[in-house]
Structure 1
């Protein structure tokens, strides 16, 4: 029997994927000075046994001041690299799932408390806070301390930090890099006219607003091995009038494809508190579809994709090439197992778990 579309293999930028299910990067706010801890070993190790095709390490800051919170993972020096190496060594001992990493810089949305303590911005004089930097000196929300506008030296430092982190990721044997250009973080701040009010060549027109994100992409693509994939995550729209739109996203997708981008992961929002998001099942899929229809490039859909028939339809209808799971796979870390059982496909499972195969699904697992 032919596997459902959700469970057909695919190659992205030279990376072979067993199926079309990828695990999205999800911040755990559990690092110490940028270094991964035992929590990351438990978390990533668990998801590496899920049967998905690709595991993506959470948003990883390329500079200390680029962290969303003081508890974010980083990859900016030997200590953060060594901590990640220890985690990856243990995960790989028990799983051969390909691993990607999302590299990012939070810009004006940095220096916050962890979510379960409110997530508010922490001022520079707080023990866990610092002065943020951004595309323009505009705060994310009323009452927050504005970022310092990045000057030329600052732009060069950030760009070079992305490249340096990509080199560290390559040394760690990471299979793919995803550049974080979504959710209101630094690169998105340059793209959106709501957060980018610069008067130099990095602000104003769409071409100018795309300039710095494209420079970062070029630097990462040059630093990361040519045979490994570099992808980008974007917000397809700000959901705010006068902000970043799906039409501009398509133009950005064309630009990164021309530079060698292997895939684009289409999310939305996160830039402006005024956003009006029409949340519902698969609410971001139309954004992924718009990019896929305009650009010949693998597209990842994400956002309230919870049911296996829903995911299968997204792939079978050509709305996207892959689906990404985030909160849903935290809730159900064996989601791909259950989807395979329901759709009549099979997944790779560790031999220690083969005896859990239900009798009614004799072809579910393959070691």
Structure 2
């Protein structure tokens, strides 16, 4: 089935939220609302990605998307080791063992591409960079629409040159990882409604707006600013079909503000501000996925004890507008409100 992002019945895309929030059930619910649901393949093996695609296909006959993390060059081992020592007292406090060695990790990139080429989905999007020319050509030949995630006009130019069919323009308001193409880049602060026309000035590709879209007025403003669709992530975290933990859901209203930090993964990411970020954010090196693996035991322990002051709680700036309920109803309600705004 050929997909055009500017022809969705409801111009809403479910953000691919890696780490468990984007379930097959959530993807199917967004589809039922008339939008486009996305699976997050990040942090999963190729086999696990294929299993989730199968589950989605059993739940919906509409097009679906899959998001891939583009692998990054290795980080500085000395900087990672220094951060390990900084975190060691925290680990000892909770009886957690930090990994002493962290090997290369390409997030099963090659195997995921091979699996998708063998059994294509309708849409593939990329975060943290772009595929090579040969990889993009192979995906295109398999009939999949390709979406590059960008945070600057420069990244938009690179994505168009790489053969992307559309762009997801991620503003600084977005929850979770900023999609900068290089780990060490400091993410821009130009608001989404200013970033959209700046990207439009350098490309004619269809644009999807992402970041801080928590109500109908924000959705309508993004569409007026040049987007053909909007991407919702935080707005769906409390949906019935979301895989977000009970603690994460509660934190969206319990904690008052968000901040961009490298503390948990080494990449800039917007999350609810807590004590862990305040203690360690300034020391975290730009090393991904090494810092992600380094802090994983600490994050797992914090999640196990539902410790909001130590968990990684990704959320966008509109987190207080998040509401529970069926995802289909959440999407439909936001779309109705946007049409009246």
Tell me the distance in 2 between the aligned counterparts of 1:234 and 1:22.
16
Give matches, 1:306-345, under 5 Å.
306-315=214-223, 317-331=224-238, 332=323, 333=327, 334-342=329-337
Tell me the distance in 2 between the aligned counterparts of 1:95 and 1:234.
29
Q: Among 168, 176, 181, which residue is 1:265 paired with?
A: 168
When structure 1 is superposed on structure 2, of 299-308 and 226-235 the one drifting more is: 226-235
Task: Provide the secondary structure at the position in 1 that maps to 2:157.
Answer: helix
Count the aligned residue pairs: 225
2:118 equivalent to 1:171: yes
2:169 equivalent to 1:222: no
Task: Provide the secondary structure at the position in 2 that maps to 1:173.
Answer: coil
Tell which has more relative contact order, 1 or 2 (C-alpha 8 A, sep 6+): 2
Tell me the distance in 1 between the aligned counterparts of 2:213 and 2:170.
12
Q: Which runs of 5+ in 1 are unaligned?
A: 1-9, 31-38, 61-71, 113-118, 134-157, 182-186, 188-212, 237-245, 346-367
TM-score, scaled relative to structure 1: 0.50
**How far is 1:260 from its partner?**
2.5
More helix by share: 2
Q: Among 84, 102, 109, which residue is 2:67 paired with?
A: 102
**How far is 1:105 from its partner?**
3.9
Question: Counterpart in 1 of 2:198?
Answer: 290
**How far is 1:340 from its partner?**
3.9
Task: Provide the secondary structure at the position in 1 that maps to 2:4.
Answer: strand
Q: CA RMSD in A?
A: 4.0
Work out whether residues 23 and 325 of structure 1, in 8 Å CA contact, stay in contact via their aligned partners in 2: yes
TM-score, scaled relative to structure 2: 0.54
Task: Provide the secondary structure at the position in 1 that maps to 2:201.
Answer: helix
Tell me the distance in 2 between the aligned counterparts of 1:259 and 1:276.
22
Tell me the distance in 2 between the aligned counterparts of 1:286 and 1:180.
21
Identify if the C-alpha distance between structure 1 residues 255 and 165 changes in structure 2 by more than 3 Å, giving closer, same or farther: same
Task: Provide the secondary structure at the position in 2 that maps to 1:324.
Answer: strand
Q: Among 4, 11, 26, which residue is 1:20 paired with?
A: 11
Work out whether residues 36 and 63 of structure 2, in 8 Å CA contact, stay in contact via their aligned partners in 1: yes
Question: Counterpart in 2 of 1:131?
Answer: 103
Tell me the distance in 2 between the aligned counterparts of 1:171 and 1:306.
37
Task: Provide the secondary structure at the position in 1 that maps to 2:169.
Answer: strand
Tell me the distance in 2 between the aligned counterparts of 1:165 and 1:110.
26
Identify if the C-alpha distance between structure 1 residues 59 and 287 changes in structure 2 by more than 3 Å, giving closer, same or farther: farther
Work out whether residues 24 and 56 of structure 2, in 8 Å CA contact, stay in contact via their aligned partners in 1: yes
